A and B are shown apart, each in its own frame.
Chain A
Amino acid sequence: MARVELGLKRNKRRAVTLFLFFTLCLLLFNPLGCNPTYPKERVDKSIINLCKREYKVDVEIKVVGKTIGVYIPIEDLIGINLAINPDKIGKVDDVIMSVSRVALSTDAKFNFYVLVAQDPIVPDIELIIIRNVTDVKRFLVTDISQSEYLNRMIIQLKLTPQAEKERVIRELFARTGVDVSEETIEDYFKSGYIDTISDIGYWNGKFFLKDVTMGEFIAKQVEERMRKDFTTDNSLKIFKLNFVDSAYKNGNFNFDFEVNSPDAPADSSKANRSVVLKYIYGVVSKVLHGYGFQDYSYINLSYNGEKVVFTKENLQDIKKRKLKVEDII
């Protein structure tokens, strides 16, 4: 009996020691885990300092809602063929890395970051990169593959929207024969308000940025995926995507696109239509499912002017095999 009691006492002592040890470990590790490296009050400065200190790059930061915007002027970014100069891609990557680090290790809950890169000599063209912060986290913990991670990133090389607007305003004034002053032009851009993420840009020292929403991001991502797939996917090589536009408004997705197949036989248009619409459905469904996005009612497809509408319930029924895509299209 005495032996049993001794054993019990020893076990109790061991249990207490282990408990104290783990409590101590938790106490030591807990504060380390809780303190953000980049507090939300200094996010902008942190990115600027990081880019300056580690990559010798000067950037400009703007934060709108849960979106961080980074403007980076890179000399010779745009080559003479109006394409990105490959030698300068490294700088863009460095800045993306810096923004990612800050976005991940801050207590500010950012959803997206937007990088706008311009060649100061040709500010009319800009490179825009939009990333979802959760995608970055998921990639780092290998929850998504690298190819999927790249597909989820929006990369666009396009005319700076504000440059286009300014050009239109100037042409309008020129047509009316009125001299337009710089103040007048500035008045047009004073509010800095932009409606869609397509309008994000940097013009005349002003950063035009909006808080990116998940709906907009998904719509734009689908658009980008379509652009890419119609040029690289073998099953779609007979088609040519002439035009694509996307929007997310009032809880509805709108995808407007024009596809033709110049080399296809004349009697195959119906089959081709089915292939294209099925593909579009597949991409939309995959992206929505990938983000678990539910905040929508309809998906409106405009295929060469023909309207096809999928409701949220349709998507759920197709997933549960209660409905076929063919039944909708």
Chain B
Amino acid sequence: MTPRIWIMYLKMYWVRLLVTFTIILLIILSIIGLASLESFYRNISIAQMPFNILMAGLNASVFVFMYLVFMRGGFSKMERSRIKSKNVNIKWDDVIGMDDVKREAWEVVELIKDRASLRRIGGKIIRGILMVGPPGCGKTYLAKAIATEASIPFISMSGSEFTEIFVGVGASRVRQLFKKARALAYGYGACIIFIDELDAIGRKRTFSVFGGTEETNSTQNQLLAEMDGLKEKQYDIIVIGATNAVEDILDTALLRPGRFDRKIYVDRPSLEDRERLFKYYLDKIKYDPSIDVGRLARKSVYKTPADIENIVKEAALIAMRNKKDTISLKDISEAIERIDMGIKHKRTMTNRERQMVAYHETGHLVVLYILHPTDDVFKASIISRRDSLGAVYRQPREEIFTSNEERILANIKVSLGGYVAEKIKFGVTSDGVAADFKQAVIYAHDMVWKYGMGKSGFIGDYTIVPEGQLSESLKERLNNETNRIIVECEKEVQELLKKESEIFEHIASELLKREELDYDEVEEIFKKYGKSRTWLKTE
């Protein structure tokens, strides 16, 4: 170890060293003191020592308990004040998929590794990296991998650990964090601070007209000050922030160059990435080699790496419960269903109610299968899960990031499918259509008010115009257009269900009989009637 490392340790742990030295000194003095006693008194002292230590410990515990309860508001605060310095050991290859993100992150690693030469030519190291993306996509994992690859210390803290009811505590923790990071950077040349859930302290600051300020303001101010301070002192500290929140939520001061210079968008994995993720997690357990990983990847559209890990874990549990040695495709499918749809719980329903639910779901299913251009049915069920009596589970064939008019209209039609089915079959409808209507109206409203997809020629986003500035006639026309879309869709759905009444009745009766229909079973029924899915036709 170099002298710098020794000095770094001295700076970092001087309190611990002092305490250790004092304890050793006290022990030596105790031994000398005891040695000078006659053996009887020495024995008594030694015999009483455990009891005295116990009593001292008890007294200290009572004192700490009282102090925390009455002065600091409980034990949770103690836990929060902790700063974790970890020996991370996540290899670059352990980060599966997200090649683009990794490429961006690799640049950062190289910058950190090459910081000396960068400084020689007068360049400055990146101070902050902001990782934005949905939860479970591997932001923390990637940050750890950066730390491992760059071979520098890594301090991790969650944004919520800074928030306190007491003003100033959060700011003090930021100071502590950077103090520790500076000490580590002094010893090892650089240090990474990883702040998870950055939005907890990085939200736009609020300023009261009365001069008051929020606790998060002072915490964020301290963070900004510390990040500026890094430049002055030439410490190579890289702050990596991670958030699920969109950038707009974060304070602009945090996002300006010099703070979080670089933004990395860590998105959900693509089809190939999901395939590799499934392969990676399945390789850790025993699984049936006939499992088609590609099919699993296709079944798990929009799933994050954390979801995929969870699916494999859940499948392992299911296999274990069924006393199997290896995980089969069925176990994985069950795991996906359990995670996506929740656990089944049977409700006792009347026959009439059960029929209504079955026909309602059949309505959704038939419309979805025949009319929807992108989405696929993967299960229909009339078994209660969570708060629904039945459901048709669907997912797009592949990630779709935009929706065109056709897709939105199909969504409206699918939503109305349940209502129309009840109307055709029973002549009356139930209140189970409320959620469907809500969905349909939102789509139709957005088509007219926001996306300019109406036929009346209204183009523009009218939702951003204050309501008072919109004329009543304009609002009326927009609403009429919204209603027209709904009515037309309803008409189209009615025609479809009447036309496909055979399939409609068949599926409903199958649902009533089996309670659940899987992807393959649905496919089979439609094939029997010579139908194939829309997206297959358009491919």
Contacts and interface: CB of A to CB of B under 8 A. Distances in A.
Interface of A: 2-3, 6, 25, 28-29, 32-33, 35-38, 101, 104-106, 137, 140-141
Given A2-B90, A6-B86, A6-B87, A32 B46 contact: yes
What is the predominant secondary structure among interface residues of chain B facing chain A? helix
A251 to B, nearest CB: 33
Interface stretch (B35-43, B259-267, B344-352): B35-43
Interface in B244-303: none
Given A2-B89, A2-B90, A6-B86, A29 B39 contact: no
Nearest to B35: A32
B38 A101 contact: yes
Contacts of A29: 31, 34, 46, 49
Contacts of A105: 38-41
A105 B36 CA distance: 13
A32 B42 contact: yes
B86 A104 contact: no
A306 B43 CA distance: 50
Contact of A33 (B27, B39, B88, B90): B39
Interface string B9-28: 00000000000000000010
A102 to B, nearest CB: 9
B38 A33 contact: no
B31 A37 contact: no
A55 to B, nearest CB: 16
Nearest to B156: A3
Contact of B44 (A2, A6, A140): A140
Contacts of B90: 2
Given A29-B31, A29-B46, A140-B44, A36 B87 contact: no
A217 to B, nearest CB: 21
30 contacts: A2-B88, A2-B90, A6-B86, A6-B87, A25-B27, A28-B27, A28-B31, A29-B31, A29-B34, A29-B46, A29-B49, A32-B42, A32-B46, A33-B39, A33-B42, A33-B43, A35-B39, A36-B39, A37-B39, A37-B40, A38-B38, A38-B39, A101-B40, A104-B38, A104-B40, A105-B40, A105-B41, A106-B39, A140-B44, A141-B44
Of all A-B residue pairs in the complex, the 4 with the closest CB atoms, nearest first, are A104-B40, A105-B38, A105-B39, A105-B40
Contacts of A2: 88-90
A6 B90 CA distance: 12
Contacts of A101: 38, 40
A28 B46 CA distance: 11
Contacts of B40: 37, 101, 104-105, 137, 140
A17 to B, nearest CB: 11
A37 B46 contact: no
A25 B23 CA distance: 12
A106 B49 CA distance: 21
A32 B38 contact: no
A21 to B, nearest CB: 9
Nearest to A107: B39
A38 B39 CA distance: 8
Contacts of B49: 29
Contacts of A106: 39
A176 B306 CA distance: 120
A1 to B, nearest CB: 10
Interface in B59-98: 86-90
B276 to A, nearest CB: 19
B52 to A, nearest CB: 13
Contacts of A104: 38, 40
Contact of A3 (B31, B44, B86): B86
Nearest to A104: B40
Contacts of B42: 32-33
Contacts of B27: 25, 28
Q: Which among A2, A3, A32 has the greatest number of chain B C-beta atoms within 10 A?
A: A32
A141 B31 CA distance: 21
Given A29-B46, A33-B43, A37-B39, 12 more contacts: A2-B88, A2-B90, A6-B87, A29-B31, A29-B34, A37-B40, A101-B38, A104-B40, A105-B38, A105-B40, A105-B41, A140-B44
Contacts of B31: 28-29, 32
Contacts of A33: 39, 42-43, 46
A85 B43 CA distance: 37
Nearest to A28: B31
A36 B42 CA distance: 10
Contacts of B87: 6
Nearest to A25: B27
Nearest to B43: A33
B55 to A, nearest CB: 16
A107 to B, nearest CB: 8
Contacts of A38: 38-39
A224 B44 CA distance: 31
Nearest to B30: A29
B36 to A, nearest CB: 10
